[in-house]
Every structure is written in C-alpha cells, then in structure tokens.
Chain A
Amino acid sequence: MTATSRIATRFAALRRERRRGLVAFVTAGDPDPQASLAIVKGLPAAGADVIELGMPFSDPMADGPAIQASSLRAIRSGATLASTLALVATFRETDATTPIVLMGYYNPIYGYGVEAFVRDAAKAGADGLIIVDLPPEESEELRGPAANVGIDLIVLVAPTTGPARLPWVLKKASGFVYYVAVTGITGTKSAAAADVGRAVETLRRETKLPIAVGFGIRTAAQAEAVASHADAAVVGSALVGKIAENLDAAGKATPGVVPAVLGLVRELADGASRAKVA
C-alpha cells in the first residue's frame, strides 16, 4: 500500500492550489461496456478530480429515477461487480493518480464475499467505497477488511444526522466525508447554498477530512455555489441523464454519448473551480 492514498493526495493538491474540485459519478457499464470505458477514461481530462463509479444494483433504494435507469441499463448490458472492477483495472493502466471511489449497495458485495471483494478492488486500483445502505451501525464487517487493503470506507452525513450522532459517525470516517445536501433521493431536490454552508461549517468543527457535497447539483452555477462551501461538489444524476439523452430508440449508445457527457463534466468542473476559496 502507498503511504498516502490517491484520495488524500488529490484533496491535498486541491487545497494547495486553492481550488474546489468536482467528483463525477457515472455507473460502470452504462450504457454499454465500451462507451462506459470511454466515458470513464475521459473524465480526468474533462476536469473530474475524483471519479465516483456506480456499482449497478437492481434495487437502488436511495436513488432517483435517473440513477435507477442508469443502473438498469448497465445490468442489461451485462455489468457485474467483476466487470466493474475490470473497468477500474483498465482505467488504471493509463491513469495512476485519479482517485476512484466505488459507490453502490451492500448485497452484491456481500454475495461476492467481503474479503475477496476488497482484495480485488484494491488490486484493480480502487481507492474508496461508498455503500449507501451500510450505515456505521452495520459497517464494521466491511470497514476493517477495507482498511487492511488501504481502501477508505467513505461515510455519509445527512441533514438528519443530528449533533449527538455526528461525532460518532465522523469517528468512523476516512478519505473524505460525503455530505448529502438534501433529505431525499438522488437527482431530485436541490439544497439552498446557505444551508449547505451552515452544514459544512458544523462538519468542519468536527473533522479535518475533506468534505464533498452531493445530491441535487445539476448546473455549473449550482456546482460553483455548493463548491464554495466544500472541498468538492458531486454530480451524478445530471451526467447519467446526459447518457440517457444520447441513446437511440433501441436504447443503444449514439456516437454523441461520450462527448455529451464529457462536455457536461467540463462545464461542471469549470463551475466548481470558479468557486471562491476563502
């Protein structure tokens, strides 16, 4: 294991450059293996500072219609946990520095076997895990094995995470903290920037870790507003929505899909990097 992880290195660089970052989410295998690889490979050059790669699941309970549809497209095109890790490994052949955080639900990992999964994920070159339905109460069986292979289990903090609970949740954090800006599913409501500001301020008092803010960020202006309060803004539904817009009538990728997604990533990254750093 490297002494300093890619996640820590990337956020340290952002702070040094006094710049705010973009975490770009796409689902592995959406809309098909080739187009998905091309999108993921293009993300760093388009301005993504961290890649959040969705591990498709049939029943994504915390996700809105855009990511549900994305997950389903990926499953239909044959995506599995194994193919997701293979995508990471292929990406790593040409990019040794951009952090990759795998996002998904616990069931496929539990079925794969926790020890085998974290070992294979580390070998493929993944840096972090966000497991939506694994709150700190249930996460010990994954946290230890992940830590042993140098993978950060990223904690989520929500507007409902009260002051009594927050320090306990943050004690389990490593890598960065993901602040869920709204009470809701992905890709629906958007938070007021002022609310995000107050929430992040509270978090800063409790943790030195970088903070990324996601849920409901669709435009460059929103990315800028949110990123002005945090280390990075996370965008997901808007990007997979762009994939959906660039499919043909049969649901197959059109030649426009990769440039369309990467073009939006560019806009959002520019938005985030315009954010003023106090």
Chain B
Amino acid sequence: MADERASPESKIYFPQSLAELLQVHRRDPDALIWAGGTFILSQRTGRFAELPATVVSLQDVEELERISRTERYLELGAMVPLRQIIRLGPQNVPRALYDALRHIGPPAVAGLATLGGNLAVAGRIMTAIPVLTLLDARAELRRQGGARWLPVGRVHRADGSVDLQPYEIITRIRVPLYPWTAQVFRRFGSELSPDSDPLTFCGLARTSNRILEELRIVGSAGHPRLLRNKSMEAELVGRRLPLPDREVRQAIETYGEPGHELSSIQRDRFRRLARWFLLSLR
C-alpha cells in the first residue's frame, strides 16, 4: 500500500507505483496531486508551502519518470523534470519544444518543474502548451481501469479548467517527431505576471523546393484561448517562397481581433513575429 506519512497539518501520500497512485486518488479524489509543485509554490503568500489536508506526492512513481523515443514519437512521463528533457538536446527534442522548455524558469526551477504540472495548471496556458499543441502532442489521462488520449490543445476547456474526469491523472505526453523545416519559439514576459504583457509565439513550417507545404502559427497571452488562424494557414500553404510582403501583411492582419483579449503590445509583438517568421521562410 502507498507509503503514508501523517503530520499534524497535512497527510502526505507517497504512492510507489502508478497502480497505487490511481488507487489512492480514487480513494481521496480531493487530495492535491503534487508533481514538481513549482507553480503552486510560486502562488504562495507566506514562507511555507500552503498544503491542503491531503497531498499525493508523485515523486516515487517510477512509471511517470520514463522517457522513450521511437522514429515517430517522443514520449515523456508526466513527472520528468524539464531539465532532464532539455538535457536530451535539440537532436532528440523538437527544436521549438526544446526552446520553450529552456524559457520555463531558470535551471533551478526547471530541475523541479514537470511537463505534467505545466499541463495541469488551471486557468492559465503555461509556456509549453502552445508549442505542444502545434506539434500535435497528446496527453495520456489514466484512471483505475482505463485510459484515454487527449490532444494537448484540448486539455484546457474554454473556461480554463482542466478537462480531467473524476479520478484521472495526466501520466505521459506523446510528441510526434515530424520533419519541420523551420521551428521558431519566442517568449516575452511571464504568464505568472500578467502585467508583463506575456506573449508566447511559436511557428512551424515545412517547405520543399521553395513551396510552403505546411504552416502552423500560434500565439498565447496566457489565457485559455490560443491565438491561431487555421484558415489563414491553409490559404498560404502551396504558395511559392519567399512569400510576398503584401500577402504576409494581409495574412497577419487577421490575428488579434477583439475576441482574443490582447493588449496592444501583445498584438503588435505577435504580428511582428508572425510577419518575420513568414518572410523568413525559404
């Protein structure tokens, strides 16, 4: 049975396997699931962790710390520290994701933070999510007796809540390894401080013989709705490169319309980056 160490304030569970974790979670569905804990601790107000009555720590669940790579996929356990993924290097991790992970806090935070934790933060779109969405990554959600795969772009509902059904846990993330010709990631500010006008930008493209074969561009200002225009992407696919400046300008005008709740700084930054990315394609 899961190792349980009681304290006067909080009860902490340390399940030793995935099966135990799912069992404990089913028994105590309101317990706080503790992965890296960096987001939770960044929100604290005092000089201590604000722990609820029951915490389930994932630190001993070996199945959640596995990394595997095939020709088609990179699979990352939800508890793999970001720093460990970065150590795999850009030759093993899609460049845009590699760059995104390098922007999530300094090394001493990336040594604790996890991809599963990044996905599980409710109400905010953390740095890795726009990139994982563009890469068609999927998250495995497990509960006792079953599992389902959900595209990372659908892990958060429109209201920002996380689409976890009762007793479900994010266990791994599968990232397809697709031969992109151009991968760009940029970030301004931080989702943790909305006053910094945070903006995450990612662009992916595949070109061949000076023809644009595939294009994906996404932006995120931290709120649940990602900034993406698939019809614009589809319109540009098949065009000869380099793209004419006039067409690029027209295309990026479609981004950042009123419904996206962007500040003028965020909109301007996004449009400049999108323009630069599109004009750089060869």
- Chain A partners chain B: no
Which B residues are within 8 Å of any A CB, using their own CB?
A: none
